């Protein structure tokens, strides 16, 4: 069931021309996907390219995929070291109507509003800055991470080491 659904989504993704999001399966494993998304305009992630790793379970779409950031990002909903993402749609609010593309779009939307994840953050430093209304401190850290880890130049250097 999962492989049929995954192939259907793959075909739909191929038809949709996404300028700000690239989503594709690993060439050797249809259950492993990678995405690159551009940081939302007008945010501290703007001009960054963020990579995601998506592990699709055999029970998909009944069970949610496991998604994590490969690119380091300063965000309350993202664990600094593991890249784990805390989002309700990837946990208790998952529904089989969600697609991998929908999940990626939701993650980009999460990046647009980091205050939503500051109550129970995976990244306590990011959450504390937001909860203390230190927008300047949060934005400075997030922009620094974006510049250090999410620019095309730095992505290219990482792949060629």
Q: Hey, which bits of the chain come out as E strands?
A: 21-26, 29-38, 49-55, 66-69
Contact, 32 vs 26, CB < 8 A? yes
**Strand ranges of the sheet holding 21-26, from the earlier edge strand across to the other edge:** 21-26, 29-38, 49-55, 66-69
**67-96 burial, b if ≥16 CB within 10 A, otherwise e?**
bbbbbebbbbbbebeebebbbebbeeebee
- Active site includes 86? yes
Q: Which of 37, 44, 86, 124 is catalytic?
A: 86
Contact, 76 vs 118, CB < 8 A? yes
Where does residue 113 rank: exposed (0-12), middle (13-18), buried (19+ CB within 10 A)?
Answer: exposed
Residues annotated as catalytic (active site), given as ranges? 86
């Amino acid at each position: 069931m999962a492989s049929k659904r995954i192939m259907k989504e793959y075909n739909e993704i191929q038809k949709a021309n996404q300028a700000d999001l690239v989503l594709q399966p690993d060439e050797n494993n249809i259950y492993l996907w990678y995405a690159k998304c551009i940081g939302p305009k007008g945010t501290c992630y703007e001009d960054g390219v963020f990579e995601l790793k998506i592990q699709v379970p055999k029970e998909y779409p009944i069970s949610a995929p496991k998604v994590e950031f490969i690119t380091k990002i300063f965000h309350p909903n993202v664990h600094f070291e593991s890249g784990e993402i805390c989002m309700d749609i990837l946990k208790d609010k998952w529904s089989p109507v969600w697609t991998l593309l929908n999940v990626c779009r939701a993650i980009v939307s999460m990046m647009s509003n980091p205050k939503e994840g500051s109550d129970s953050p995976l990244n306590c430093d990011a959450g504390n800055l937001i909860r203390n209304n230190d927008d300047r401190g949060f934005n400075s850290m997030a922009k620094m991470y974006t510049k250090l880890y999410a620019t095309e130049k730095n992505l290219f250097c990482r792949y060629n080491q």
